[in-house]
Structure 1
Amino acid sequence: MNPHLTRLYQLAQQPSRRIIGLMSGTSLDGLDVALCRLHGHGPATRLELEHFATVPYAEAVRQRIREVFAREQVSLEYLTLLNAWLGRLHAALVNQCLQQWQVSPAEVDLLASHGQTVYHAPAHQHQQPGFAGLNATLQLGDGDHVAVGTGIITLSDFRQKHIAGGGEGAPLAAYGDFLLLSSPHEERLLLNLGGIANFTYLPRAGQAAGTAFSTDTGPGNTLLDATVRQHRPGLSYDADGRLALAGHMHEGLLQELLAHPFFAAPLPKTTGPELFSPAYLQQAQAHSGTLELRLEDVLATLTEFSALGVARAARQAFGARPALRVYASGGGAHNPALRAALRRHLPACPLATTEALGVLPDAKEAILFALLANEAVAGQPITMGAGRQRVPAITMGKISLPG
């Protein structure tokens, strides 16, 4: 038998596995690298985060990705080259982290690589003739290059199976949130404030898993960050929400931003920067006569827009006055302006970060993919949700052998 397949069989029998989770989000700020020790599988999973780092991308790396990021038309040759180049880059960054942590690649059982999303095309959004009802998504950073570059068995391309199983490719957070963060004592909303905002609803542990689900809610940081980059060269985001806190929300612009049918669509739903792009903002400003609005006022309005997207989805799911605990993660969890707006719009929902649950907010998504890899090798597909809120019971991740 191939020794790598023998190794996979052995890993499935072990009581624990050491897995690296990788995440590179739509903010393009860098690669999150989480070295995890995962004990058991399924609802009994226990996780130890041994090491975590966000390795910042150089501006040249961001620029390479932006050449294809959320663009309808790109060079096919460039896209093909970037796929391999990103795989090699991610492998090199993993090796760099392992060296700093004084961990040998041979001491790591598996590597779970999300890759870099460059285009997300749910059926409700692309509307392409001839592809009716087809969801699609594309992540770059080929898993074979990661496996060969690190010498570690790699699982990658997780989102394709979600689509093949009847999902939309996002969000995937429900799986990891359900396994790791369910509580017998409280209902929880696990809110990820990344480029796109999404949340997972978790009933009390022991209740029917059929009520758990995940949904995107609209933009998180994507429009905020893009607007800062456009108007403040040298800045990549609004640190501590200082610019937004210095501005005033414009009601006319806010209503134009909220006019898209996405916000009235039934849950769950998914979206991306392909829809909520700088062009979307510019069109809303043109319609509301706010093209000359101060940057601070635009950012204050966009902050309100992101918070209202979350609040509207929560009300859609849980009634006019939702009352459950919210635990935030992602870059937006560090933004005081966004947190304040969320508290205004969800006054009966106590807001904390996932650090209160023992999970670093910045590491949560990388941890998720380590969990998915652990389930792929040692677990069983999990059934969650029902009807439109069904979470496909599938095993995710394509396996790349290092030799």
Structure 2
Amino acid sequence: MTERPVLGVGLMSGTSLDGMDAALVRFDGPGRVTLLGFVTRPYDAEERAAIEAALGPTTARDLARLHARIGGWAVEVVQTLLGQEQVRPMDLGFIAFHGQTIWHEPPTVTWQLGEPALLAERFGVKVVSGFRGRDVAAGGQGAPLVPVADVLLFGAEHPRVLLNLGGMANLTFVPHREDDEGAFAFDTGPGMAVIDAIARLVQPGLPYDVEGRLAAAGAVNQAALAELLANPFFQLAPPKSTGRELFGAEFAARLHRQVPGPDGVATAAALTVSSIVSAIGRWVPQAREVVVSGGGVHHPVLMERLGR
């Protein structure tokens, strides 16, 4: 008997705080997945600032209001996607929504905002949420989540690393397409979060280090880089995960004070590259290929240095 195809929508809003992505996917059985459509709802400056404010001291009122706002943004992006692809809500098997992480402190807690009930009420379909909290409850890190898809979609005949350059950088090691038991994943440290935060300090109004121009214009401060790489997180063995609690606005502000101007952006980029290269060499030296994804692929300085 042939399995009936299932349509699902997955939502993603990560530590880069650049927007909310939605993908319409058809599942034709285990490992048989087809991407049918994709849209992004960018966060504007005010929305990004609201999320960043929630990462620090705030009030229950503001958190509750942001929880509802993020749920509303999720409704917007799903509505746009379904209209674009001319799919009816009743044709969906599910919507998957993990929310927006505002605090991540494994192994005890991870917290996401975004009311999933708004999606359920608007579209009348099953909504799956709370992935990260469930993983932490089961003894996991709650992050990264992308390795589940990496193993299913990108396994090869040889050992492969799937590197995601989001706000944080994480990698998945897949030894072989038929060896999901040997696969594992972890965060290597900051991806784009520190680079872009310092870029905004150097040039207020910039959304991020556009085309890597500030990093390219600066010089790496080797003394500062060595100090940053001494952070205990980089010495931890996998599984491990991190977030803006450690590599966020405060971290970026300290580096900006120590190394002002484009040199700070260049040093932040070097931190991302050095921590990734070290992690691969230390924990997955048998990898024969690295496949890179995420917003960081559009940063020429990062990609050039990773390719060396």
Q: Does 1:327 align with 2:291?
A: yes
1:178-232 CA-partner distances (Å, limit 9, x unpaired): 112112x22110001000000000011234x332100100000000111122222
1:366-401 CA-partner distances (Å, limit 9, x unpaired): xxxxxxxxxxxxxxxxxxxxxxxxxxxxxxxxxxxx
1:31-67 CA-partner distances (Å, limit 9, x unpaired): 10100111112xxx11111111111122222222222
Q: Does 1:46 align with 2:32?
A: yes
Letter aligned with residue 132 of structure 2: R
Q: Does 1:174 align with 2:165?
A: no
Residue in structure 1 matched with residue 14 of structure 2 by the alignment? 25
Task: Give the C-alpha shift of residue 96 in structure 1.
Answer: 2.3
- CA distance 1:63–1:280, change in 2 (3 Å): closer
- Alignment partner of 2:118 out of 138, 142, 145: 145
Alpha-carbon separation, structure 2, partners of 1:323 and 1:83: 40
- Report the secondary structure of 2:64's partner residue: helix
- Alignment partner of 2:128 out of 155, 158, 169: 155
- Report the secondary structure of 2:26's partner residue: strand
TM-score (ref. length: structure 2): 0.94
Residue in structure 1 matched with residue 186 of structure 2 by the alignment? 215
Letter aligned with residue 343 of structure 1: G
Residue in structure 2 matched with residue 187 of structure 1 by the alignment? 159
Task: Give the C-alpha shift of residue 284 in structure 1.
Answer: 4.8
- Whether contact under 8 Å (1:195, 1:221) holds in the other structure is yes
Residue in structure 2 matched with residue 61 of structure 1 by the alignment? 47
- Report the secondary structure of 1:168's partner residue: coil
Residue in structure 1 matched with residue 81 of structure 2 by the alignment? 97
1:87-116 CA-partner distances (Å, limit 9, x unpaired): 122112211222233222222221111211
- CA distance 1:314–1:78, change in 2 (3 Å): same
- Report the secondary structure of 2:58's partner residue: coil
- Whether contact under 8 Å (1:91, 1:147) holds in the other structure is no
Alpha-carbon separation, structure 2, partners of 1:14 and 1:145: 30
Q: Does 1:78 align with 2:49?
A: no
- Whether contact under 8 Å (1:253, 1:285) holds in the other structure is no
- Whether contact under 8 Å (1:19, 1:36) holds in the other structure is yes
Task: Give the C-alpha shift of residue 280 in structure 1.
Answer: 2.2
- Report the secondary structure of 1:67's partner residue: helix
1:68-89 CA-partner distances (Å, limit 9, x unpaired): 03x2x22012112221221122
- CA distance 1:50–1:92, change in 2 (3 Å): same
- CA distance 1:232–1:282, change in 2 (3 Å): closer
Alpha-carbon separation, structure 1, partners of 2:148 and 2:111: 20
- CA distance 1:284–1:65, change in 2 (3 Å): closer
Q: Does 1:37 align with 2:26?
A: yes
- Report the secondary structure of 1:33's partner residue: strand
Alpha-carbon separation, structure 2, partners of 1:108 and 1:285: 47
- Report the secondary structure of 1:237's partner residue: coil
1:268-301 CA-partner distances (Å, limit 9, x unpaired): 2111111012322444566xxx44x3x2211111
RMSD: 1.8
Alpha-carbon separation, structure 1, partners of 2:98 and 2:287: 33
Residue in structure 1 matched with residue 274 of structure 2 by the alignment? 308
% of aligned pairs identical? Answer: 39
Alpha-carbon separation, structure 1, partners of 2:18 and 2:122: 22
Q: Does 1:114 align with 2:98?
A: yes
Alpha-carbon separation, structure 1, partners of 2:12 and 2:237: 28
Residue in structure 1 matched with residue 201 of structure 2 by the alignment? 230
Higher relative contact order (CA 8 A, sep 6+): 1
Residue in structure 1 matched with residue 212 of structure 2 by the alignment? 241
1:124-139 correspondence runs (5 A): 135-139=108-112
- Whether contact under 8 Å (2:104, 2:245) holds in the other structure is yes
- Whether contact under 8 Å (1:303, 1:341) holds in the other structure is no
Residue in structure 2 matched with residue 270 of structure 1 by the alignment? 241
TM-score (ref. length: structure 1): 0.73
